[in-house]
Each structure stands twice: as C-alpha cells, then as structure tokens.
Amino acid sequence: MKHIESESNASLKQWKKLHTKKEREKSGTYLIEGPHLIEEAIKSGAKLQHVIIEEHFELNESWLKEKFALWSVPSKLMKQLSETEKPQGIIAVCEMMDQNENLIKKNGRYLLIDGVQDPGNLGTIIRTADSAGLDGVFLGEGTADLYNGKTVRSTQGSLFHLPIVKADLLEIVQQCKEMNITVLSTSLQEAVDMRKAPEVEGFALIVGNEGAGVQEALQQESTMKVKIPIFGSAESLNVSVATGILLYELQRNRT
Amino acid sequence: MKHIESESNASLKQWKKLHTKKEREKSGTYLIEGPHLIEEAIKSGAKLQHVIIEEHFELNESWLKEKFALWSVPSKLMKQLSETEKPQGIIAVCEMMDQNENLIKKNGRYLLIDGVQDPGNLGTIIRTADSAGLDGVFLGEGTADLYNGKTVRSTQGSLFHLPIVKADLLEIVQQCKEMNITVLSTSLQEAVDMRKAPEVEGFALIVGNEGAGVQEALQQESTMKVKIPIFGSAESLNVSVATGILLYELQRNRT
C-alpha cells in the first residue's frame, strides 16, 4: 500500500478529474464509492485499477486477492476525491464494462431509456430493471451518463448485474421487432391502460424524458402504446416510479 | 407591488429563514417556488401570504384576484431566496394546511409513511399517492419534513391535492382496524407476494425507512405483510418505486 499525503500528487489529481464525463470517457474509467459498491463490482468481475482508502479504514481481507493498486490518503484528501457529503472511507477507480450491442434474444425482456436526464432517476431505473429481472437496458441519446457518480450510487450496485448499453434506440426497436418481441412505448395519447396490455413473454418497454416523454419517432415504431391510469389529481408519475409499475405489471404472472 | 432592493430588508431576511424547519414550524409558513406550484396552491385554496417575483417576471393576471402581498426583487436577491440552481422567477410564502387527523373513513385508501428520510423520496411518494387516488397520507415520526423545499418540489404540486397529516402511526393503524380497513405492511420476512394479496376496497399500506424498512411494532399490528418479488439480483427496490408498484397492484381492478 502506498500513501499519498499531498494534494498535488499526480495520481490523486488524475482521479479527481474522473468527476467529469469528459475525463471518464477519455480514460474509460470511473469512480465508485463505498464498500457496498466495491463488493458488488468485485463479485461481478468488474476490473478495479486502484482502491483508495482513508487511513485506518478496515479493508475486507477477501478483496486483497484482487489485482489492484492500493493507496491510503488522509481524511482531507478523501473528502476531495469523494462526491458525497459523508465519504464512506473507500473509493475505487473502476474500468468501464465492454458494451455488447448484440443482446437481443428471442423472448428477452428489455428496457429502452429515451432521454431520462436526471442521474438519480437513471440510477433508480437501472436498480428497478435489475429487480424486475430484465435481460438488458439500452440508453438512448440525451440520457444521463451511466458513470456519473449520482447515477452509479442510485443503482445501488445494479449496474454490475445486467448489461447496460448505449445505443440508437430506433435500431434496437427494429432488432426487437425482427425477433418478434413486443415493443411497448409509454405515451399519454391513444395509449392502452397497461392493465389491458396482453401478456407476452418477451418485451421491450420504452420510457422517456421527465418532461417530454418518449420521442414521437420511437412511439410510432412501437407495437403498442401503454399508459398508467391516474386515479387522482396528479398530472403524471415520476419516471422511475412509472417504470417500476409498468415492469411489474408486464410480468404480472411471472414466477 | 412593493420593491425590495436591499439584502438587509427585514421581510426578505424573514423569508430566507424559511429554509430551516425550525422557522417554518414557528411561523406556520413555507416557501413554494415556480409558477406551476403556485398555480396548484391557488387552485387548491391554499393561502399565500406573499408572492415575490423577479423584476420583469410576467405574473399570471388571474392570480391578482388573490389576496397576497406582491413584491419584486432583483435577480441577485431572488437567487438568495431560492433553493434551486435555476430559480424560476417567482416564490411564494404559503400557509401550512390545517391538519385533520379524523380522516379515516369506511373503505378509504391510505398510505402510512414510517420514517422515509430523503425529502426527494417523500415528495415522490406523495405524488404517487395522489396519482393512485388515495384518500390521505400519514407521516410517522422520523419521516422527512413535508415542507422542506426538496419535498415540496418533488411532490410536483400533489401536496395540495390530498390530505397529508403527521400522526402516530400505531394510532392510525388501530383506527383503520376499527373501521375494518385491511392494514398491509411491507416486509421482507414472512411476507406474502403482493400479487397474492386479496383484493379489498379500503386499505392502509405502510411503507418504511430506506434502510430499515417498516418498524417491527407496526409490522406486528398490520393485518398482513406483503413483499414485491425480486426477479433479478438487486437486494431491494427504491422506496418510492416500491410504493408505486404496491399501490397500483392493490388497485389492480379499480376503474
């Protein structure tokens, strides 16, 4: 274990740059914070390049089998590296996963995210897609960055549990249709009450931007438009909540 | 319309204090930001004491019938008063609603919130309860402050649409049971898959703290414990998402 004491240490300066999307994309790495996320990363086989702990942090011994460089820093530097108000004493530099666009299989279950902008919403949606046992998530243009610290934290580790791929959603919709997978788009107009949607084994659900919803071109290419009934006076549901309700309704008889 | 130019104006200083829970409770007032929330407040009959606009903000003329004091401030002071990064040019000082604890009616539908700590989660849950057409929401001890700016914004105006009452949840559970309302608690142990929960007209659903869930005493007093099946590898769902899935599942045949 090497110790860093100075703010001007080159490695520390490089890791702090990972707070920006530009540097994450350039380096192909991102930061994960806290023992829970690091445990999930290791369990899933994600590659950690560096693990940085605050002095006196008690490292899980089983992690020492992993091949990463281990560093310790004083509390003051940990605070600079952390993006949370209460750092948990451990941060890792993690390599981005390979993106495999050939995910679509017969009877697969997929979520297509069209321009969800809030990183907290995106992370929560990925956690929900994991809970709902989906086979993959596709992130369309205009969607928040998967590797943003807030997104990663909101997934609670689910980003390590299922394939998540940046993609052209119109292409994914075509691929799904070629595999006879029903493509459902959320919509407020001419949409069917989700409770009346037919039960299908495979499906691709498209959810959209917080304000504008799913873009028209994707709605038009979908097999069916669905909506959640509003029984009260709210204009709409939060997109993460709506995604959860729809994913469970579409699998109402799954065992 | 009166104009405020100075940071040391006594009214402005008082309004800024409403960023703290202590001052909100002392004064019985809180801040709401943006034209949408103010429109919802007016429509619902909430009482606005003051409306503060940034110079040149175009006020909706129909609002001028309302009895509030109107103030204008320069952009610099609006930024101080606002709790958001991008102020929307209008903020109001709103009176808290009367709390009516005698809400429980035969066949009513209620949500009991036991210690949800994140204001964003609380606001989203209230928005979801409104969408699901509930008759009231009860906030137990340890739950985030309803009048916190983040909570209010996350409700998207739903806090004006249904009764929301701070209460001793054990008492509410007893009241529900006396009215033959089925009380369902979320739980991970000895819980029934929510899809097998009987259909009932009235219900009270208890949801709990982000980490600890519903407290043991409330679980024990409930009629039934329910859980959402996890088909993938996530440990749990976000509490707002879980609340949405449960509220819609419990009303699977509502028209």
Would the pLDDT of B99 be above 80? no
How many angstroms separate the CA atoms of A176 and B179, rounded?
A: 50
Helices (H), chain B: 10-17, 21-27, 35-43, 75-81, 119-131, 149-155, 169-178, 216-221, 239-249
Helices (H), chain A: 10-17, 21-27, 35-43, 75-81, 119-131, 149-155, 169-178, 216-221, 239-249
* C-alpha distance from residue A225 to each of A115, A188, A240, B36 (Å): 18, 8, 18, 28
Question: What is the per-residue pLDDT across B58-77, written as a single tens digit (0 to 9) for each?
Answer: 988 888 888 899 999 999 99
ipTM of the complex model: 0.95
Q: Where does residue B36 rank: exposed (0-12), middle (13-18), buried (19+ CB within 10 A)?
A: middle
Angle at A160 between CA A156 and CA A164, to 5 degrees: 105
C-alpha A241 chain-centroid distance: 15
Question: What is the per-residue pLDDT across B213-252, written as a single tens digit (0 to 9) for each?
Answer: 999 999 999 999 999 999 999 999 999 999 999 999 999 9
Question: What is the per-residue pLDDT across A162-214, written as a single tens digit (0 to 9) for each?
Answer: 999 999 999 999 999 999 999 999 998 889 999 999 888 899 999 999 999 99
How many angstroms separate the CA atoms of B65 and A221, rounded?
A: 47
Would the pLDDT of B101 be above 70? no
C-alpha B119 chain-centroid distance: 9
**Is there a contact between B205 and B171 (Cβ–Cβ < 8 Å)?**
no
Of the two residues B129 and A201, the one the predictor is more confident about is: B129
How many angstroms separate the CA atoms of B167 and B61, rounded?
A: 39
Phi, psi of B53 (to 5 degrees): -115, 155
Average pLDDT, chain B: 95
Split at pLDDT 50, 70, 90, the class of B188 is confident
Q: B218: how many CB neighbours lie within 10 A of its CB?
A: 22
Predicted local distance difference test score (pLDDT) of residue B199: 86
How many angstroms separate the CA atoms of A70 and A162, rounded?
A: 27
Residues of B with Cβ-Cβ distance to A228 under 8 angstroms: 131, 248
* C-alpha distance from residue A127 to each of B159, B189, B210 (Å): 27, 21, 14
How many angstroms separate the CA atoms of B98 and B164, rounded?
A: 9
The arithmetic mean of pLDDT across residues B117-131, rounded, is 98
Would the pLDDT of B43 be above 70? yes
Give the nearest partner residue to B128 out of A131, A134, A241, using CB atoms.
A241
Single out the residue of A63, A53, A62 nearest to residue A90, CA to CA.
A53
**Is there a contact between A41 and A32 (Cβ–Cβ < 8 Å)?**
yes
Of the two residues B60 and B162, the one the predictor is more confident about is: B162
Best mutation target, A40, A86, A131, to test chain B (most B CBs within 10 A):
A131
- 3-state class of B148 per DSSP? coil
The arithmetic mean of pLDDT across residues B12-38, rounded, is 97
Q: Which residue of B has its CA nearest to A124?
A: B238
Residues of A with Cβ-Cβ distance to B127 under 8 angstroms: 234, 237-238, 241
Say yes or no for a CB contact (<8 Å) between A162 and B244.
Answer: no
Give the nearest partner residue to A127 out of B228, B237, B249, using CB atoms.
B237
How many angstroms separate the CA atoms of A218 and A239, rounded?
A: 17
What is chain A's pLDDT, residue by residue, as a tens digit (255 residues)?
899 999 999 999 999 999 999 999 999 999 999 999 999 999 999 999 999 999 989 988 888 888 899 999 999 999 999 999 999 999 999 999 887 768 999 999 999 999 999 999 999 999 999 999 999 999 999 999 999 999 999 999 999 999 999 999 999 999 999 999 999 999 988 899 999 998 888 999 999 999 999 999 999 999 999 999 999 999 999 999 999 999 999 999 998
Give the nearest partner residue to A133 out of B161, B232, B252, using CB atoms.
B232
Predicted local distance difference test score (pLDDT) of residue A106: 94
- For chain B, give me the number of helices (H) and strands (E)? 9, 12
Give the nearest partner residue to B161 out of A154, A232, A238, using CB atoms.
A232
How many angstroms separate the CA atoms of A21 and A70, rounded?
A: 24
The architecture (CATH level 2) of A109-249 comes to 3-Layer(aba) Sandwich (3.40)
Q: Where does residue B95 rank: exposed (0-12), middle (13-18), buried (19+ CB within 10 A)?
A: middle
Residue ranges of domains in chain A: 2-95, 109-249
Q: What is the CATH number of domain A2-95?
A: 3.30.1330.30
Pull the structure tokens for residue A104: 């679509």
Give the residue numbers in A contacting B (CB under 8 Å), as ranges. Answer: 120, 124, 127-134, 154, 156-158, 161-162, 195, 228-238, 240-245, 248-249, 251-252, 254
Angle at A249 between CA A243 and CA A255, to 5 degrees: 120
Residue B8 DSSP one-character state: T
**Is there a contact between B31 and B101 (Cβ–Cβ < 8 Å)?**
no
Residues of A with Cβ-Cβ distance to B249 under 8 angstroms: 248
Predicted local distance difference test score (pLDDT) of residue A61: 86
Predicted local distance difference test score (pLDDT) of residue A101: 63
Predicted local distance difference test score (pLDDT) of residue B10: 96
Max distance between CA atoms of chain B, in angstroms, equals: 62
